[in-house]
Every structure is written in C-alpha cells, then in structure tokens.
Amino acid sequence: MTVRKRIVITGASSGLGEGMARQFAARGRDLALCARRTDRLDALAVELREAHGVRVLTQALDVTDHSRVFEVFQGFREEFGTIDRIVVNAGLGKGQPVGTGRFDANKQTLETNLVAGLAQAEAAMEIFRDQRAGHLVFVSSFTALRGFPKNLTAYAASKAGLATLAEGIRAELTGTPIKVTTLLPGYIDSEMTARAARRNPLQVGAEAGAVAMVKAVEREPAKAFVPTFPWLPLSVVVRLAPASLLRRFA
C-alpha cells in the first residue's frame, strides 16, 4: 500500500470532509483543507495540529468558483512541494422533486456536485499528470446506482455523473502510477442527512462512517461502498429492484 503523506480535501469544514480530515490526521498525514466556512476550517486545523503534530494548510474555497479551484490546488502544491492525494468531496444535497418549481435548487445541486466536481478533477489531474503520480478520490454516493425519486432525483443524477467521470479517468490511467477511486457512501450522519425528514434506519454515525471511508481510500480500490455492510450487498438488490421499491430510500 502506498502511503500518501500530503492530502487535499475539499468541503472539509463539516460532515464527511471533516471526518476524513480527522482520521487522516490521526494517521500522521499532512493536510490541505478547503471550504467556504473558514472559521470552522481554521478551528479544525488548530485542533488537528495540536492533537497530532501534523501540518495543516487551509484556504477558503467555493468549488463553484472554478478558476479559484485551480488557484487553490496549485497553491497547496507550491506549499507542500508534492500533492499525493486529492479528495473531491465538496457537495450539496439540495434537490427537490422535478417540476415543483425548484429548478434553482436542482440546478445548484448539479452545478456543485458534478460541474464543480469536474473542475476539481481537472485541477487535480493537471498536478498528477505533471508529477506522474497521485491518487484522485471522488466521493460519489450509493444513490449513483439508480435514478431515485423525490428530493433525491437531481442529487442521484449528479452523483451518477461524478461516478461516470471517475470511471472514464480511471480507464485512461489504468496501469499508471495515478490511481482513481470512487467512494459510494451509504447513509452517514452529516449536516446533509440531518436535514432529511426522517433518519434512515441504516444510517451510521459520523465517526464510524469517516473511519470506513478512510480505510477504503487507503486501499486505493477502483470503487468502494462504505460502510461495506450493508451497502455492498444492498447494491446488488438496488440494481435489480423495481422503481416502486426505490421510494423507500428517498
């Protein structure tokens, strides 16, 4: 297993990004964290430096400001010298049922999760191609497997697009020192899931979810469902399920 010592995480001020940052810091990894909420980001950086003695860089970043994505990633590389892993994590779960007058929310969801995901991939791959090495990680979603109803429709579409983007990059780079991983998390406690009308009975705690994600990332697989149970066996069921059954996940 390759030890990736310098890791960039977008959307690191809360949720899955914050959880992964804590887990990587506990493993002694230096971090470059970016998000819109710099007060939370800077507080996290101080905590991780004091607790683990790691180097933590921070930058304000709204990933929908595409030119800024390139600036921030390149700035991190200049400060670290080398970037070993970039985690495309920043995302939005703001979708609404299609045709209910909330095109704005659905458009914002796709722009943040997919178009801004592409911007992050482009910026990351420029660095990795130049270095001839690196690990690009996409945080997609279990919902990328199918089209889901109601508030998940636009979100699932954006995450499916992100997973397909990852697959295409991975296909090109197979056999090279640049690795590409797609994470497909199930329901994990976060600010996003907290806004749901009801808690999914299969939902796991934030720390357990972050531990599972980091363990998966460290293996550098092509694709990983996290946590593995129940989401890997459920992936088989969901792929074959009738559309009526998908309503239970929404």
Instruction: Please state whether beta strands 56-60 and 30-35 pair in parallel, antiparallel, or not at all (unpaired).
Output: parallel
Residue 28 lies in a domain: yes
Residue 82 lies in a domain: yes
Q: How confident is residue 199, by pLDDT bands cut at 50, 70 and 90?
A: low
| Tens-place pLDDT, residues 101-138 | 999 999 999 999 999 999 999 999 999 999 999 999 99
Residue 81 lies in a domain: yes
Residue 1 lies in a domain: no
pLDDT at 204: 84
The answer to whether 145 touches 151, Cβ cutoff 8 Å, is: no
Average pLDDT over residues 205-215: 93
Query: What whole-number distance in Å separates Cα of residue 68 and Cα of residue 116?
Result: 11
Q: What is the largest CA-CA distance in the chain?
A: 51
CATH number at residue 201: 3.40.50.720
Q: Cα–Cα–Cα angle for 45, 90, 78, nearest 5°?
A: 55
| Tens-place pLDDT, residues 9-53 | 999 999 999 999 999 999 999 999 999 999 999 999 999 999 999
| Tens-place pLDDT, residues 82-102 | 999 999 999 999 899 999 999
Residue 177 lies in a domain: yes
Query: What whole-number distance in Å separates Cα of residue 104 and Cα of residue 121?
Result: 24
Catalytic residues: 155
Give burial (CB, 10 Å; 0-12/13-18/19+) of 13: buried
Q: Lay out the sheet containing 223-226: strands in order across.
A: 56-60, 30-35, 6-10, 85-88, 134-139, 178-185, 223-226
Residue 100 lies in a domain: yes
Q: What's the domain range around 75?
A: 6-249
Query: What whole-number distance in Å separates Cα of residue 77 and Cα of residue 79?
Result: 5
Supply the DSSP symbol for 112. I
The closest alpha carbon to 121, from 159, 75, 155, 73, belongs to 73
Alpha-carbon dihedral sign for residues 179, 153, 248, 203: positive
How many domains does the chain divide into? Answer: 1
Q: What proportion of the chain, given as a percentage, has pLDDT over 90?
A: 84
Residue 146 lies in a domain: yes
Q: Cα–Cα–Cα angle for 192, 31, 144, nearest 5°?
A: 35
